[in-house]
Amino acid sequence: GVRPHRESHMNNKHATSAVHEIIREICRLVDSGHSMTRDQFHELSEQERFIAFLAEKYSSTIKLYYLADSSPLFEKDTSSFIENAFGRHANTVVMEDFGLKSNALLLAINICLAILREINGEV
């Protein structure tokens, strides 16, 4: 199972908006033809830097308002929680669980849905 997240003073509404933003921006990346291998996704997730990597690598493509540390909407608690959540969830699922074959960015979207359930206490 997924380990429960560490306690923080995270604002759940802020975190929910941040995850919605990730889903939207990953959809835009996939629509533009970008992909990621499962190995790269799992490695970045385990290092708790999946979102940081996307923000850096695709800075000219994606727009992060809740998770860009230069943004006035940025909150460290939310960012840390989400990076940690990707690490926890990526350890418990594989692409085949969702019928996926090649693009791990699509796995990330499915993990975002699990993170939203976690934020909202539905796990």
Total count of domains within the chain: 1
CA distance to 32, 63, 113, per residue, from 117 (Å)? 28, 24, 6
Contact residues for 28 (Cβ-Cβ < 8 A; gap 6+)? 61, 62
Domain membership of residue 7 (yes or no) is no
Q: Is 0.85 surpassed by the pTM of this model? A: yes
Domain membership of residue 77 (yes or no) is yes
Domain membership of residue 91 (yes or no) is yes
pLDDT of 4 reads: 53
Q: What mean pLDDT do residues 92-97 have?
A: 92
Domain membership of residue 6 (yes or no) is no
Contact residues for 44 (Cβ-Cβ < 8 A; gap 6+)? 50, 53, 86
The CATH number of residue 59's host domain is 1.20.120.600
Domain membership of residue 2 (yes or no) is no
Q: What is the pLDDT of residues 67-77, one digit of tens each?
A: 988 899 999 99
Domain membership of residue 3 (yes or no) is no
CA–centroid distance for 37 within its chain:
15
Q: How confident is the prediction for the chain on average, in pLDDT?
A: 92
Contact 8, 77 (CB under 8 A): yes
Domain membership of residue 97 (yes or no) is yes
Full domain range(s) for residue 48: 12-119
Q: What mean pLDDT do residues 89-108 have?
A: 94
* pLDDT greater than 90 at residue 1: no
pLDDT of 122 reads: 84
CA angle 68, 9, 20 (to 5 degrees): 45
